[in-house]
Amino acid sequence: MDEIAELRATPENPSFDLNSPEALDALEAGAPSASGIRVNSKSALTYSPWWRGINLISQSLSKLPLFVYKRNGEGKDRFPQHPAYSLLRYQPNEYQTALIFQQQLQGHALSKGNGYAYIEMDGDGNPLALLPMDPDTVTVVRVNGVVWYVIRTGVYESKLDTSQVLHIRGLGWDGLVGYNVLELARDTIGLGIGQTRYTAKTLSQGGRPGMILETPNTIPPADRQYLRDTWEKMHSGIDNAHRTAILDRGLKANAISFSNDDQQLIEQRKFQIIDVANFLGIPPHKLGGGERTSYASLEQENTAFLDDCLDFWLCNWEYECRSKLLTEKEKQSDTVVAEFMRNALMRADSTARGNYYRAALGGHPWATVDEVRGMENLNPLGGIAAELQPPANMGGQNNQPEDPAASNVKPKRDAMIGTVRKAVEDAAKRAAKRIGVHAIKAATTPRKFIASVEELIEANADAMTDIMEPALDLRHQLGGPEAVESIAEMRSMMKAQLIEAANVPAKRLAEVVQKWADDAPEYWANKLGEWDK
């Protein structure tokens, strides 16, 4: 291996044998796997489970905002003045966004075991840019107890100390570098690519591979070739499968065929997906394993993906950013920290978000209404919404407060109701405006309007839930009806109102629907903003 590494380091050397297996490795042909398929960084990505696994983890990580925070007593605030803040949150260099940069570096770490980025600094040691480096050009060495990063560019080499390189690494033997996962998984990936090619080749040769044409007569060599070419021309390929064959000269066609099930190709492909999932730490169903999974098991596997796979890499980034992008003073005082916003993982799951907010605001609340609104990208309401509220059930027996100091709970709760009412009204207006825009568009085709109403209400059901549920859940906590009931009523009544609006001459439909769309936001704000307390 040392000799190979030496050859790969200097392929321009005239003594380098371009016909040797080592030369193929150096020229990115890749080393052969046990199946005979050569596997390298690019060819591995043609195997869909490997592509999916690398992409899934990289994208899941890179879509989470990475912030620099400054500790404020027991809490912390975002610290946009820090030199690393914009690099990690928005743009690490002039040609990449933070999302693409993190996706690239994480992809390197997953495939090669190591992701490297050069830290460009100013004269005071503050980071100015993060520039990704090809992991194949970087070698980490320890000389006299000092770690160096050796960078090869053509025939030239340069070295950087550890403070100049952001290094995301996986499991490794010496703690300096992570194992090259692509090399460890070479046989698994090679077998998977080989099976894919075999299946494609089987299809390209027709539905009945291995055909034998048998006759008791002697056929001259020239006629044999003609017969073979004619048969393959007529019956090879998917388009020619199952065509009728007409035989003479006493010929008999005998097919020697084995189905994919007989050859266990399908089962083998499933096992290959599981192998790839094990290398990357991903539940097989996320790679398209196709196995039936119960809802409870699926939920547990998704949680396992977040806890056992993704969270390790999040911590990996956070520790490395602390080590390389903060000053020694900041590290010693522990006043600055880089962390991912993990609750952003719930953005696509309205039910999980609703439960999370319910827990935050109910019982013994640990978040304010405005903090919850901020998580939903809504503007703060101020006043009581910015205050942490005591539990609604603080009273003792017979609803009498146990402590005279708790006598202000009722006024605070009344103020809270007023604040939540505003949040509900705001959400109702936004939901009604959304439906109104689609209704106006549908009114341009009067003869299809009623059918379009059905479709637009159903098509926007999830969006309405996302808009309305957080505010209606808060209302439910304060004694209002269930959120799902209010949303269902809103959808049903909107549909009825729009269908009723269609009972006008076609030429007036657009005018009537426009008026409904203008009035609907205020109507629904008033209707949902009041409830029995």
Residue pLDDT, tens place only, 11-24: 445 454 544 444 54
Nearest-5° Cα angle at 311, 88 to 170: 80
Q: How confident is the model at residue 315 (pLDDT cuts 50, 70, 90)?
A: very high
Q: How confident is the model at residue 408 (pLDDT cuts 50, 70, 90)?
A: low
Residue 364 has pLDDT above 70, yes or no: no
Instruction: Check residue 8 and give its pLDDT.
Output: 42
Instruction: Check residue 476 and give its pLDDT.
Output: 78
Mean pLDDT, the chain, whole residue set: 77
Q: How confident is the model at residue 5 (pLDDT cuts 50, 70, 90)?
A: very low
CA-wise closest residue to 117 among 184, 167, 71, 153: 167
User: Are the C-beta atoms of residues 485 and 370 closer than 8 Å to each other?
Assistant: no
Q: How confident is the model at residue 440 (pLDDT cuts 50, 70, 90)?
A: confident
Q: How confident is the model at residue 400 (pLDDT cuts 50, 70, 90)?
A: very low
Nearest-5° Cα angle at 121, 120 to 127: 90
What are the residues facing 118 on neighbouring strands? 131, 165
For the residues of 419-458, what is the DSSP string, one character each?
HHHHHHHHHHHHHHHHHHHHHHHHTTSGGGHHHHHHHHHH
CA-wise closest residue to 130 among 104, 156, 169, 158: 104
Q: How confident is the model at residue 226 (pLDDT cuts 50, 70, 90)?
A: confident
Instruction: Check residue 321 and give its pLDDT.
Output: 94
Residue that wins the pLDDT comparison between 264 and 219 = 219
CA distances for 217 relative to 211, 256, 476, angstroms: 18, 21, 89
Residue 90 has pLDDT above 80, yes or no: yes
Instruction: Check residue 195 and give its pLDDT.
Output: 75
Residue 69 has pLDDT above 80, yes or no: yes
Q: Could you tell me the pTM of the whole model?
A: 0.58
